[in-house]
Amino acid sequence: MIKKSVLLAASMALAACQPHQKPSSDAVTVADAEQFLAQVETTLIKDAEYAARIAWVQANFITEDTVWLGAKSIEKMGALQVKFANQAKAFDDIELPADMRRRLNIIKGGMTLAAPNDADKNARLAQIMANLSATYGAGKYCQGEDCQNLGQLSKTIAESRDADELLNAWNGWRTVSPAMRDSYQEMVTLANEGARELGFDDTGAMWRAGYDMPANDFPVELDRLWGQVKPLYDSLQCHVRTKLTDHYGEAVMGNDGMIPAHLLGNMWAQDWTAVYDLVKPQDAGSTIDVTALLAEHDYDAEKMVKTAEGFFTSLGLDPLPETFWTRSLFLKPRDRDVQCHASAWDIDNEEDIRIKMCIKEDYEDFVTIHHELGHNFYQRAYKDQSILYRNGANDGFHEAIGDTVALSITPQYLKDIGLIDEVPASSNDLGMLMKKALEKIAFVPFGLMIDQWRWKVFNGEISAEEYNAGWWRLRNQYQGVKAPNERTEDHFDPGAKYHIPGNTPYTRYFLAHILQFQFHRELCEAAGFEGDLHQCSIYGNKAAGEKLIKVLEMGASQPWQDAMEVVANSRDMDATAVVDYFAPLKTWLDEQNKGRDCGW
Ligand code: X8Z
Ligand code: ZN
């Protein structure tokens, strides 16, 4: 995730602290609005850093004291933020230039969590948020004296092929989340109260309002995009289910067409790359094993980050500042609890950008490093915008940039940087496409269902009495993935996924998985590439880089449709690039699936 919206919200809150006469709505002028905005921006720039440094310390050293400090910081900002958003309402009824209106709207609606306008409730909400995130970050599964953290349990899920061992690790991580259930429920009530005070129906409605289109149109847009990808996902799910049944047998798999969630190589069944060997095309030849290449060439965490930086600079971006290298966290410390979920930080909204990651020396984390650096390069590129615009064109853009770059980690690129000597013949590409589909296509319905659940939780369609049942209904429906054993309302499986206790909206990742292919296609075209999309790398290409940089520098200053126009000559998000990219795999999958009873 990126540590921007929280900080922005936080510092906006601090800005409200400054003496500012709330103009009465009938007397306000454009000049008042101008003055208000200027004051907000000045204060933001000044105060954001304090909150960011507290959040950084809390996430890097999870202790009783840092959680306490973190809660205080969230509390203070929350209270002020609400006042601040309310002040902005005073300008609702006057005519303003579009740019000023846009900045005021960001002040009123650009947050993910709105505290109620009540000191006690705000303090309680802040405490809950700090605790939830610490519970996740410090979470461990203990069998007697033997305790395992998420990294260790995830390794078992990725590597073991023993159904019982997999189930133990899967259940083990889910012992961490039941403790979150009551406070999560309380959080929902408090956050909704805050959102309603700001004029939104509930917190989900506030989230949906941030996409430069009528909030009610946004879910329709998501359905449209999902409809473009679903046939490919269905083909992949059917093939993977069949192959896993060959390996694990019907006793483990059942025969309802769904895949038990512990068998897909990832703790949340959101990325299936780790089961490649079980589902790969027999005639695919060998695929490039980047993890092995990294080891062979003595890549450590720092060299992986340096290499990723090298991709961005090859496009024309400036190298990362010296402080990035001295202040980032690359390795999991042995002696303390750290929030290991990868994140990118913009501490001072200028040059102090960092990542925090517990890097494993493998392909998965090599890609994630590109993902995180995408955030950092975006943050630095828009640093000359108004502080209110130092953000992605929409949150999907922010999540898509690094992934777009990572789509260019092709065999040709690996040769360019000296990891392989020869590019394998393209007749081997089927395996490569399968691996990529297990990573990217498997994710798409997962990326969608998380907020389908949360939106229903926030609007009351899923009550606290059926948090877990509602979660699994959606996982069944969208992914064709099922719980491996009985789940009850004593469990709280949503809490075992970082972004639920962290309250990070998740639709951004669904969008990013569409956008990155669309961006990839457009940048490859700018680079003059002709050929199959999966073979295109924009490494070193300044024409592609120029387009990308233009979008990054815009930040959130224009509606995302304008940014889309810069990169794609179109104002729409579109998944046809996904379909094009995987076309040869889709043909192959449909051939394999002939005669199989697909669907669930
Ligand atoms: O949370 C992340 C990034 C940080 S913004 C590592 N991602 C989602 C996840 O891990 O669930 C990237 C892909 C989806
Ligand atoms: Zn991210």
Note whether residue 165 is domain-resident: no
Note whether residue 44 is domain-resident: yes
Instruction: Report strand pairing: 481-482 vs 140-143.
Output: unpaired
Question: pLDDT tier at 101 (50, 70, 90 boundaries)?
Answer: very high
554-600 pLDDT, tens per residue?
Answer: 999 999 999 999 999 999 999 999 999 999 999 999 999 999 999 99
Whether pLDDT at 135 is above 60: yes
Domain match, 122 and 239 both: no
Note whether residue 411 is domain-resident: no
Position of tokens 């019907």? 250
Domain match, 194 and 265 both: no
And the tokens for 507? Answer: 């639709």
Distance of CA 151 from the midpoint of ligand 2 (Å): 19
Position of tokens 């329709």? 220
The pLDDT value given to residue 80? 77
Note whether residue 70 is domain-resident: yes
From the CB of 266, is ligand 1 less than 6 Å away? no
The pLDDT value given to residue 48? 77
Note whether residue 395 is domain-resident: no
Mutational test site, ligand 1, from 346, 509, 510, 515, max ligand atoms within 8 Å of CB: 509
And the tokens for 278? Answer: 């079980």
Question: pLDDT tier at 24 (50, 70, 90 boundaries)?
Answer: low
Query: Which numbered atom of ligand 1 lies nearest the CA of 375?
Result: 5
Domain match, 354 and 432 both: yes
In angstroms, the first-to-last Cα distance of the chain is 32
Contacts of 358 (CB under 8 A, 6+ apart): 151, 329, 331, 332, 338, 340, 342
From the CB of 358, is ligand 1 less than 6 Å away? no
Query: Which numbered atom of ligand 1 lies nearest the CA of 509?
Result: 14
Ligand nearest to the CA of 368: 1
Question: pLDDT tier at 78 (50, 70, 90 boundaries)?
Answer: confident
Distances, alpha carbon 600 to alpha carbons 269, 468, 470, in Å? 17, 20, 18
For 135-142, what is the mean pLDDT?
97
Ligand nearest to the CA of 373: 2
Query: Which numbered atom of ligand 1 lies nearest the CA of 504?
Result: 1
Q: How many CB atoms lie within 10 A of CB 375?
A: 25
Domain match, 128 and 260 both: no
Domain match, 188 and 228 both: no
Domain match, 204 and 218 both: no
Query: Which numbered atom of ligand 1 lies nearest the CA of 443?
Result: 14
CA 87 from centroid of its chain's CA atoms: 31
Cα within 13 Å of Cα(268), Cβ side: 23
363-398 pLDDT, tens per residue?
Answer: 999 999 999 999 999 999 999 999 999 999 999 999
Mutational test site, ligand 1, from 268, 368, 370, max ligand atoms within 8 Å of CB: 368
Cα within 13 Å of Cα(175), Cβ side: 14
Domain match, 204 and 293 both: no
Distance CA 261, CA 8 (A): 36
Q: How many CB atoms lie within 10 A of CB 95?
A: 8
From the CB of 441, is ligand 1 less than 6 Å away? no
Distance CA 527, CA 520 (A): 10
From the CB of 452, is ligand 1 less than 6 Å away? no
Cα Rg, the chain, nearest whole Å: 24
Mutational test site, ligand 1, from 358, 371, 391, 450, max ligand atoms within 8 Å of CB: 371
Higher pLDDT, 172 or 8: 172
From the CB of 235, is ligand 1 less than 6 Å away? no
And the tokens for 129? Answer: 């948020």
Note whether residue 514 is domain-resident: no
Whether pLDDT at 9 is above 50: no
Distance of CA 288 from the midpoint of ligand 1 (Å): 24
From the CB of 368, is ligand 1 less than 6 Å away? yes
Domain boundary among 162, 192, 208: 208
And the tokens for 167? Answer: 């189930």
By residue range, what is the domain housing residue 235? 214-384+420-503+582-600
Whether pLDDT at 10 is above 60: no
Residue nearest to atom 7 of ligand 1 (CA): 1
The pLDDT value given to residue 139? 97
244-254 pLDDT, tens per residue?
Answer: 999 999 999 99
Domain match, 273 and 335 both: yes
And the tokens for 468? Answer: 């877990």
Mutational test site, ligand 1, from 1, 364, 375, max ligand atoms within 8 Å of CB: 1
Distance of CA 375 from the midpoint of ligand 2 (Å): 7
Alpha helices, DSSP H only, in 62-208?
64-88, 98-109, 119-137, 150-159, 163-173, 181-197, 203-208
For 432-461, what is the mean pLDDT?
98
Point out the residues that are catalytic: 341-342, 371-372, 375, 399, 499, 509
Number of H helices, E strands in the chain: 26, 6
Domain match, 188 and 309 both: no
Main-chain dihedrals φ then ψ at residue 481, nearest 5 degrees: -115, 140
The pLDDT value given to residue 84? 82
Domain boundary among 193, 208, 223: 208
Whether pLDDT at 467 is above 90: yes
CB 62 within 8 A of CB 340: no
Per the DSSP assignment, residues forming a β-bridge with 355 are 344
Residue nearest to atom 14 of ligand 1 (CA): 509
Query: Which numbered atom of ligand 1 lies nearest the CA of 368?
Result: 6
Expressed in percent and rounded to 5, the helix, strand and coil fractions of the chain are 60, 5, 35
Average pLDDT, the chain: 93
Domain match, 226 and 307 both: yes
Please report, as a single letter, which amino acid is at residue 554: M
Distance of CA 310 from the midpoint of ligand 2 (Å): 19
Domain match, 271 and 204 both: no
The pLDDT value given to residue 21? 44
Residue nearest to atom 3 of ligand 1 (CA): 1
Whether pLDDT at 7 is above 60: no
Whether pLDDT at 218 is above 90: yes
Residue nearest to atom 6 of ligand 1 (CA): 342
Whether pLDDT at 15 is above 50: no
Distance CA 284, CA 534 (A): 15
Question: pLDDT tier at 3 (50, 70, 90 boundaries)?
Answer: low
HEC string of 71-94 equals HHHHHHHHHHHHHHHHHHHHHCCC
66-76 pLDDT, tens per residue?
Answer: 999 999 999 98
pTM: 0.96
Query: Which numbered atom of ligand 1 lies nearest the CA of 341?
Result: 6
Note whether residue 163 is domain-resident: no
Look at phi and psi of residue 281 and say left if phi exceeds 0, alpha if psi is from -120 to 50, else beta: beta
Task: Name which of 525, 532, 519, 531 is nearest 567 in CA terms.
Answer: 519
Query: Which numbered atom of ligand 1 lies nearest the CA of 1?
Result: 5
Residue nearest to atom 4 of ligand 1 (CA): 1
Looking at the 3D structure of the chain, how many domains does it have? 2
And the tokens for 132? Answer: 């939830």
Extract the runs of DSSP E, i.e. beta strands, from 301-407: 343-346, 353-356
Residue nearest to atom 8 of ligand 1 (CA): 509
Main-chain dihedrals φ then ψ at residue 558, nearest 5 degrees: -125, 160
Q: At what angle do helices 542-554 and 507-526 cross, to 10 degrees?
A: 140
The pLDDT value given to residue 475? 98
Note whether residue 552 is domain-resident: no
From the CB of 342, is ligand 1 less than 6 Å away? yes
With a pLDDT cut of 70, the percent of the chain lying above it is 96
From the CB of 198, is ligand 1 less than 6 Å away? no
402-436 pLDDT, tens per residue?
Answer: 999 999 999 999 999 999 999 998 877 999 999 99
Secondary structure letter of residue 257 according to DSSP: S
276-332 pLDDT, tens per residue?
Answer: 999 999 877 778 999 999 999 999 999 999 999 999 999 999 999 999 999 999 999
146-181 pLDDT, tens per residue?
Answer: 999 999 999 999 999 999 999 999 999 999 999 999
Domain match, 336 and 190 both: no
Higher pLDDT, 278 or 349: 278
Distance CA 168, CA 152 (A): 12
